[in-house]
Structure 1
C-alpha cells in the first residue's frame, strides 16, 4: 500500500490508512461477492454488448430505414445504467443492495419480455432502451461497489474478475442471440435473454452484499455529495470519466456495421462483438492483476492511452479482414483495462468511507458519454456518401486519448513525476 501525500490528508480526502477502518478481508466471503457481481454484470452487459446484433437485424429486416432512430436505443440504454449515480447513496440507504438487485431483476426481465411483443420502433425504445437501462442501474451500482469494499491488496484482481462478467456475457449472449434469431426469430431471442437475465440476477440478489453499513460507506450523508469536488483528485477523475466515455463504446457498437460496409464475410460482422467481448473479459482480469503489481494509477493511464492510440493508428486504417481483427483484439484488451482499472483507484482517491457517493457521481458521467458519443460518431460517419468510418475512428480516438491525459494528471497528483508503483 503506497504512502499518501500530504495533500490527501484533508477533511475531504481520506488517506489509504483510513481505509483500514472497515478492514477489507481480501478473501473469504469476498469471493462470493465477486461471483455474485460477476453474474450481475454478465447479465446487463451481456445484453448491452449484443445490442449490435439486434441493431443490424432490426435495420435490415424489421424496421428498415430507421437506422438513425434505432442507433439511439443502445446509447440510451447503456447511459441509463448510471442514472441513479447522483442519488446512489440515498437509494442504498433506503433499499440496500439486496432490494436494489431484486428491483433490477424485475425491470430488466420485464424489458426484454415486453420487447419481444414490440410492433414499432418506439416500443423498442421504451423497452430495450429506457426500461432495461433504468433497471440495470439498480444492478450496476451494487455490483461495482461491493468488490471495491471487500478487497484492498487484491482489489485490482477482484474488480477485474467481477467486471470480466460483462465481457464474457457479451461473448455468450451475442452468440446465443444470433443462434436463436437464425433458428427461432428475434422475438424468441429476446424472451430467452429475459429468462437468462432473470435467473442470473436472482442469484446475484442472494450473494451481493456491502462490507459495512450504508453509514460507514456513505460519506457525509448528503443527498448529492458535492463536497467530494473539494478533493482535486476526485475532480480530475470525474473529468477523466466524463470525456473518455464519449468515445469508448463507439467501436463496440459500430465495428460490425463497418465490417458489413467493407463487404467482409457476414461471419466477421456477427462475431466481432463477441470476440471483442472475450478479449475484454480476459483483459479485465489481466490488467486488474497488473494494477495490483505495477500500480493501479499507472495501469489506468497506460490502458486508456493505448485504447485511444488503437483507434487512431489501426481503426482509421482498417480496409480488410486482417486489420479489423487486429483492431478488435487490441482495442478489446486496452479498452477492457480502462473499464477494470477505473473503479480500482476510486477507494484510493476518496477512501472507503466515501465510496458509495463517489461511485455514484463518478459513474454518472457515463450517462452523457454513452448517450451521445456513438450517435455523434454515427453522424460524422454518415455525413458523406459513402460513409466514412475513418471519421468515427478519429472521434473515438481523440476523446479517449484526451480522457487518458486526465488519467495521467491523476497519477501525477497521486505520486508526482517519479516512476513508482502507484
Structure 2
C-alpha cells in the first residue's frame, strides 16, 4: 500500500485511493449496519429459547443500536487523536468478540452485555470514523461516494438475511452468531486500508500558526489539480506540521470547544431534535417487520425474504439519490430531498397495519427500503452542509450519538405497545408519525439557517457603513 504523505492537500482528490476508501467503508457498513439489521431474524429464536415476551427480547436489538450511537463520539475522539485506522481496527476486534461470546449465552441478561454493549461498542468505534473519512476524499462527488459506501447496509441485508436464516436452521442460533463473529472480524482488514488524509481546510480550523499555514499553502499550491496522493517528501518542509501537531497533542488530551463550534448553533440544534424523532421512527420497522409478518400468517422464509427485498431496494435508494443530488440542478436542494424522503418513509409506515399478506407487504418493503436508503445516504451530506466539512468527523459523532436514546427505547416501547394492545397497529402508527414530525423539524431548521444568513448579511452591511463615512470625512478634512 502506498505510503501516505504528511503534506496536506489543497482540496479533496475526488478519486484515486478514495475509491478504496469507499470500498472499505462499504464493507464496514456491511459488517455493522447490515449485521445489526439481521439480528431481528434472531428475535423469534431468542423469544422461544428464553421464554420471554416481546418487550424483554426487543431490548437486545435496541441495546446494540443504542450503544453503537451513544459511543459514536468516542470513535470520533480516537480517530482525531490517533487515526481512523486505530479506531476501526479496535472496533472490529470488539464487535467480533461480542458476537462470538454471545454464542455461549445462557440468559437474556448475558446477551444484553455481550451482544448489546460489547458488540455495540465495537460498531461505534468502527462505523462513524469509516463514514467520516469518505468526506475527506470527496468534494464534488461526495453524495455519490456516500451513496456507494452506505449501500453496504442494503446489499448486506439482502445477502445476509436469507443466509442468517439458513445458518439458524442448520447450526441453531448459537452457530449462526459464531459464524457472524468471524465475518465481522473483517472490519480489521478494512481499517488497515483507511489511509489518513490531511487537507488545508483542516489546518485552517486547527491551532496551527499562521506562518506554518502560509508556508504549507505556498508549497502545496501546485498540487491543487493533482490526483496522486503519493507526494515526494522533498516538496515541502514537514517540520512545521510535525511541530504544530506535537504542540497540539501535548497541550490537549481531551476534546476542546474548538472541535465543536457548531454544537450550539440554532440550525444544528433543531436538526438534532429532528434526529431524535427520526431515530425512534426508523428503528421500529427493522425490528418488528419480521415478527409482524409471521403473526400475519407469512412463513418464516417469506418474512426473512421481506428483509432481503428491503435491503436490495435500499441499495437503489443509496446510489440513485447519491447520484441525483450530486447533479448541478439538485445540489442546492439536497436538504429538501432529505426532508421529502423522511416524510414519505413515515407515510409508508402509517399504512402497514392494513397490509396483512406477503403480496401486500412486498410493496411496503420496496417503498420503505428505497426512501430509507435515500435519506441514510444524505445524512452525512446534510450534516456537512450544516456543520462544515472540516468538522464532519466530530459532527457525525454527535449525530449518531443523538440516535442513541431513541434506538434504546424505540423497539422496547413498540414491543410494550404490542403486548398491551395485542396488535402491531399502534407501534407502526407511532413510528410513522414520528418520522413525519422529524421531516417538519428539518424544514424549520432550514428556515432558521436562511434567517441567520440574512441577519449576517445585514449586520455586515451596517458595520461597513461607519467605516465608509469615516473614510469620506478623512478625505474631506486632510490633516
Q: TM-score, structure 2 length as denominator?
A: 0.77
Aligned residue runs from structure 1 range 51-70, under 5 A: 51-60=39-48, 62-70=49-57
2:197 and 2:166 mapped to 1: Cα distance? Answer: 40
> Against the structure 1 CA distance between its residues 179 and 89, is the aligned structure 2 distance closer, same or farther, given a 3 Å change threshold?
closer
Question: 1:96-175 alignment to 2 at 5 Å?
Answer: 96-175=83-162
287-296 vs 302-311, greater mean Cα deviation: 287-296
- Cα offset, 1:284, TM superposition: 0.9
The answer to which of 21-30 and 131-140 deviates more is 21-30
Alpha-carbon offset, residue 144 of structure 1:
1.2
2:387 to 344, 350, 354: 350
| Deviation of the 1:45 alpha carbon | 1.4
Cα deviation 1:285-323 (Å, max 9, x = unaligned): 1111122232321210111111011112x2132222222
Q: Which residue of 2 aligns with 1:340?
A: 377
Aligned residue in 2 for 1:48 = 36
Which segment is superposed worse, 174-183 or 266-275? 266-275
Output one character per residue of 1:339-366: Cα deviation in whole Å (capped at 9) or x when no partner: 1111112222222222222111122111
Deviation, structure 1 residue 415: 5.9
CA distance in 2, matches of 1:393, 1:280: 19
Alignment pair present for 1:202 and 2:188: yes
1:112–1:127 contact (8 Å) kept in structure 2 = yes
Aligned partners of 2:309, 2:162: CA distance in 1, in Å?
10
Query: Quick check: 1:300 aligned with 2:338?
Result: yes
Structure 2: stretches of 5+ with no match in the other structure? 1-7, 208-251, 452-479
Give the 3-state SS of the residue equivalent to 1:117 in structure 2: coil
Q: Find the aligned partners of 1:288 and 1:414 in 2 and give their Cα distance.
A: 23
Q: Residues 412 and 219 of structure 1: is their aligned pair in 2 closer, same or farther, counting only changes over 3 Å?
A: farther
SS in 2 for 1:383: helix
Aligned 8 A contact 2:96 2:181 in 1:
yes
1:178 aligns with one of 165, 178, 182:
165
Cα distance in 1 for partners of 2:90, 2:58 equals: 27
* CA–CA distance in structure 2, aligned partners of residues 139 and 46 of structure 1: 14
Aligned to 1:393: 428
Displacement of 1:101: 1.1
Number of residue pairs the alignment of both structures matches: 392
Contact in 2 for aligned 1:219/1:354 (Cα 8 Å):
no
Describe the SS at the equivalent of 2:83: helix
Residue 71 of structure 1: CA displacement? 0.7
Any idea what SS the aligned residue of 1:53 has? helix
Report deviation, 1:267.
Answer: 2.2
Post-superposition shift, 1:165? 0.7
Which position in structure 1 is the counterpart of 2:18? 30
In the TM superposition, what is the alpha-carbon distance from 1:72 to its structure 2 partner? 0.4
Tell me how far 1:47 sits from its aligned partner.
Answer: 1.4
User: In the superposition, relative to structure 1, how do residues 279 and 316 fare at CA in structure 2: closer, same or farther (>3 Å)?
Assistant: same
Contact 2:339–2:443 (Cα < 8 Å) also in 1: yes
Distance in 1 (CA, whole Å) between partners of 2:423 and 2:205 is 47
Distance 1:188 1:323 in 2: 33
- Aligned partner of 1:3 in structure 2 is none
Structure 1: gaps spanning 5 or more residues: 1-19, 417-422
Given that residues 54 and 415 in structure 2 are in contact (C-alpha distance below 8 angstroms), is that contact kept between their aligned partners in structure 1?
A: no
Aligned Cα root-mean-square deviation (Å):
2.2
Alpha-carbon distance in structure 2 between the residues aligned to 1:365 and 1:374: 16
Bigger Cα Rg: 2
Q: Is the 8 A contact 1:117 1:187 kept in 2?
A: yes
CA distance in 1, matches of 2:384, 2:426: 37
Alpha-carbon separation, structure 2, partners of 1:340 and 1:318:
28
Q: Which of 233, 252, 255 is the equivalent residue of 2:286?
A: 252
Measured in 2, the distance between the counterparts of 1:367 and 1:33 equals 26
In structure 2, distance between residues paired with 1:240 and 1:97: 28
Go from structure 1 to structure 2 and tell me whether the alpha carbon gap of 1:374 and 1:22 turns closer, same or farther (over 3 Å shift): farther
Query: What is aligned with 1:379?
Result: 416
Q: Secondary structure at the match of 1:277?
A: helix
Measured after TM superposition, the shift of residue 394 of structure 1 is 0.9
Aligned to 2:239: none
* Cα contact 2:79–2:86 (8 A) shared by 1: no
Q: Does 1:279 align with 2:320?
A: no
> In the alignment, which of 336, 345, 365 is matched to residue 402 of structure 2?
365
Q: Distance in 2 between matches of 1:171 and 1:63?
A: 28
Alpha-carbon separation, structure 2, partners of 1:41 and 1:218: 29
- Partner residue of 2:347 out of 298, 303, 309: 309
TM-score in terms of structure 1 length:
0.87
Determine if contact 1:290/1:299 at 8 Å carries over to the other structure: no
Q: CA separation in 2, counterparts of 1:78 and 1:87?
A: 15
SS state at 2:167 partner: helix
**Which residue number in structure 1 is paired with residue 245 of structure 2?**
none
> Which string of whole-angstrom CA distances, capped at 9 and with x for unpartnered residues, describes residues 388-421 of structure 1?
21111111111100001122233445568xxxxx
